[in-house]
Amino acid sequence: MSSHPDIDVIVFDILGTMVDEPSGIRRGIRTLLPDIDDARTSELVEVWYRHVDEQQQEVLAGRRPYSDSTVIDLEAATRVAAEAGVSDADAVRSLAASGQRLEPWPDSVPALDRIASRFPVVGLSNASRSALTRISAHAGLRWHQVLSAEDAHNYKPHPAVYRLAIANAGCSPDRLLMVAAHAWDLRGAQAVGMRTAYVERPVGDPPSAIDAFELHAKSLDDLAMRLNAT
């Protein structure tokens, strides 16, 4: 039995929260351009993220038809490669795939296993279905189910994405706990009535002074302890 009877399901963001996405993209750029320095690598990582953010915002605003993350990542990789003067199609595809070869944070796998022994655990990500299969397999993440924004034809923080998790759980939103390293993600979950837990990560979006999330954990290990998942 769960020691938190008011929580039925725990829902986790994946990119940034469970896996170190920026470092994976950085490694992909370094593979493409072995002689590049750290400053230029960071600039090209920013090019990638700026493209992804711009295009997801276009989808959210209804100015672009939905394209899944695999399509947008390939666009981002093409843009990065063009900035670096690389046009080889195979090299671009390999760079795009770096967004699916992401290492877990040191506590992600063991803490997720502990939490999964006490609660149903669901991954909920803006990554496409095919990307999530590869990301979870590469990182060794144990899910009872993983849900993609692709099924909502939109991106978080659109309410339709969080409602995928609510519908999947078959219970009221306030019996789901959304876990993320991104305050914007948790605000989206709050807007549909889900409970929220912020987990600190080296990357992410920290809470503002006016955010009020139910839990604030220093790490996923800390969250597991707070949930008595030992």
pLDDT at 204: 86
Write out the two tokens for 46: 């920013």
Percent of the chain with pLDDT over 70: 97
Residues with Cβ within 8 Å of residue 58, at least 6 apart in sequence: 64
Residues with Cβ within 8 Å of residue 14, at least 6 apart in sequence: 123, 124, 125, 127, 132, 135, 136, 141, 146
Nearest Cα neighbor of 26 from 218, 202, 217 is 202
Biggest CA-to-CA distance, the chain: 57
pLDDT at 229: 67
190 with 171: CB under 8 angstroms? Answer: no
205 with 183: CB under 8 angstroms? Answer: yes
**192-210 residue pLDDT tens:** 999 999 999 999 899 999 9
Nearest Cα neighbor of 83 from 42, 53, 55, 54 is 42
Average pLDDT over residues 138-151: 97
